[in-house]
Structure 1
Amino acid sequence: MKITFHGAVQTVTGSQHLLEVNGKKILLDCGLFQGKRKESFERNRSEFCQGKEIDCLVLSHAHIDHSGRIPCFVKNGFAGEIFCTAATRDLCEVMLMDSAFIQEKDVEFVNRRRKKKGQRLFEPLYTRADVTKAMKQFVGIGYERRHRLFPGVYVTFVDAGHMLGSAHVILDIDDQETGRNRRLVFSGDIGRPGIPIIRDPVPIGDGADILIMESTYGNRLHPPYLESEEELERIVNETVTRGGSLLIPAFAVGRTQQLVYALHKLHNAGRIPDLPIFVDSPLATRVTDIFRLHLEDFDAEIREFLLTDEDKNPFGFGRLQYTKTVEESKALNSLKIPAIIISASGMLEGGRILHHLRNRIGNSRNTILLTGWQAPNTLGRYIVEKKPSVGIYGEEYQVKANVEIFTGFSGHADRDGLLEFVRVMEKKPEHTFIVHGEEDASSSLRQALQTELALDNVVIPEPLQSFNV
Structure 2
Amino acid sequence: MKITFHGAARTVTGSKHIVRLKNGKAILLDCGMFQGMGKETLPLNQHFGFDPTELTYVVISHAHIDHIGLLPKLVAEGYQGPIYLTDATEDLAKVMLVDSARIQEADVMHINKQRAKEHREPVKPLYTEEDAQNVFPLFVTVPYNQPTQIDEDVELLYTDTGHILGSAAVNLKIREDGRERRITFSGDVGRYRDVLLRSPQNFPQADYIILESTYGDRLHESVKPMVDDLLDYITHTCLEKKGKLIIPAFSVGRTQELLYALNRLELEHRLPPLKYYVDSPLSIKATNIIKSHPECFNAAVQKLLRQDDDVFDFKGLEFVESAEESIALNESNQPCVIISASGMAEAGRVKHHILHSIEHPRNTILIVGYCEPESLGGRLSAGAQEVSIFGKRFPVNAEVGVIKSMSAHGDYEDMFQWLSCQDAREVQKLFLVHGDYDVQQHFRDKLVKKGFLDIEIPYQHQQIGLG
Deviation of 1:49 after TM superposition, in Å, equals: 5.9
- Map residues 149-188 of structure 1 onto 2, 5 A cutoff: 149-176=150-177, 179-188=178-187
More displaced 10-residue stretch of structure 1: 376-385 or 161-170: 376-385
Measured in 1, the distance between the counterparts of 2:170 and 2:97 equals: 21
- In structure 1, the gaps of 5 or more residues are none
Partner of 1:52, secondary structure, is helix
Deviation of 1:267 after TM superposition, in Å, equals: 2.1
Measured in 1, the distance between the counterparts of 2:98 and 2:277 equals: 23
What residue in structure 2 maps to residue 21 of structure 1? 21
- In structure 2, the gaps of 5 or more residues are none
2:363 counterpart of 1:362: no
Measured in 2, the distance between the counterparts of 1:109 and 1:375 equals: 24
Measured in 1, the distance between the counterparts of 2:249 and 2:142 equals: 28
What residue in structure 2 maps to residue 109 of structure 1? 110
Contact 1:97/1:131, CA 8 A, preserved across alignment: yes
Contact 2:244/2:337, CA 8 A, preserved across alignment: yes
Measured in 2, the distance between the counterparts of 1:402 and 1:306 equals: 36
Measured in 1, the distance between the counterparts of 2:314 and 2:400 equals: 27
- Map residues 306-385 of structure 1 onto 2, 5 A cutoff: 306-309=305-308, 312-385=309-382
Deviation digits for residues 236-282 of structure 1 (CA, Å, limit 9, x no counterpart): 12222222221100000100000011011112212231111000001
Measured in 2, the distance between the counterparts of 1:379 and 1:111 equals: 23
2:456 counterpart of 1:459: yes
Deviation of 1:149 after TM superposition, in Å, equals: 1.6
Contact 1:222/1:407, CA 8 A, preserved across alignment: yes
- Which of 420, 439, 452 is the aligned partner of 2:437? 439
Measured in 2, the distance between the counterparts of 1:346 and 1:145 equals: 33
Partner of 2:150, secondary structure, is strand
Partner of 1:92, secondary structure, is helix
Deviation of 1:22 after TM superposition, in Å, equals: 5.1
Deviation of 1:34 after TM superposition, in Å, equals: 0.9
Measured in 2, the distance between the counterparts of 1:44 and 1:50 equals: 14
Contact 2:200/2:418, CA 8 A, preserved across alignment: no
What residue in structure 2 maps to residue 214 of structure 1? 212
Deviation of 1:156 after TM superposition, in Å, equals: 0.4
Deviation of 1:351 after TM superposition, in Å, equals: 1.0
Measured in 2, the distance between the counterparts of 1:125 and 1:441 equals: 30
Measured in 2, the distance between the counterparts of 1:367 and 1:195 equals: 26
Deviation digits for residues 52-100 of structure 1 (CA, Å, limit 9, x no counterpart): 0100100000000000000100000001000010110111100000000
Deviation of 1:401 after TM superposition, in Å, equals: 1.4
Measured in 2, the distance between the counterparts of 1:65 and 1:320 equals: 29
Deviation digits for residues 196-225 of structure 1 (CA, Å, limit 9, x no counterpart): 222111122x42100000000001110111
Contact 2:201/2:418, CA 8 A, preserved across alignment: no
Amino acid at match of 1:85: T
Contact 1:49/1:76, CA 8 A, preserved across alignment: no
Instruction: Give the RMSD, CA atoms, in angstroms.
Output: 1.3
Measured in 2, the distance between the counterparts of 1:397 and 1:49 equals: 40
Contact 1:249/1:346, CA 8 A, preserved across alignment: yes
Amino acid at match of 1:278: Y
What residue in structure 2 maps to residue 411 of structure 1? 408
Amino acid at match of 2:459: E
- Map residues 110-149 of structure 1 onto 2, 5 A cutoff: 110-149=111-150
Deviation digits for residues 169-218 of structure 1 (CA, Å, limit 9, x no counterpart): 10012222xx22211000000000111222111122x4210000000000
Partner of 2:53, secondary structure, is coil
Deviation of 1:368 after TM superposition, in Å, equals: 1.0
Q: For this pair of structures, how many residues does the alignment match?
A: 463
Measured in 1, the distance between the counterparts of 2:419 and 2:89 equals: 25
Partner of 1:355, secondary structure, is helix
Partner of 2:406, secondary structure, is coil
Measured in 1, the distance between the counterparts of 2:398 and 2:115 equals: 35
Measured in 2, the distance between the counterparts of 1:72 and 1:83 equals: 17
Amino acid at match of 2:101: A
Question: Percent same amino acid at aligned positions?
Answer: 41
What residue in structure 1 maps to residue 39 of structure 2? 38
Measured in 1, the distance between the counterparts of 2:270 and 2:176 equals: 58
Change (3 A) 1:228 1:319: same
Measured in 1, the distance between the counterparts of 2:123 and 2:165 equals: 35
Amino acid at match of 2:252: V
TM-score, normalised by the number of residues in structure 2: 0.97
Contact 1:236/1:272, CA 8 A, preserved across alignment: no
Measured in 1, the distance between the counterparts of 2:10 and 2:413 equals: 20
- Which of 203, 223, 234 is the aligned partner of 1:225? 223
Partner of 1:383, secondary structure, is helix
Contact 1:88/1:165, CA 8 A, preserved across alignment: yes
TM-score, normalised by the number of residues in structure 1: 0.96
2:385 counterpart of 1:388: yes
Change (3 A) 1:42 1:254: same
Deviation digits for residues 300-353 of structure 1 (CA, Å, limit 9, x no counterpart): 2222122112xx211222211101211211121233332110001111111111
Measured in 2, the distance between the counterparts of 1:49 and 1:130 equals: 19
Contact 2:243/2:333, CA 8 A, preserved across alignment: no
Partner of 1:308, secondary structure, is coil
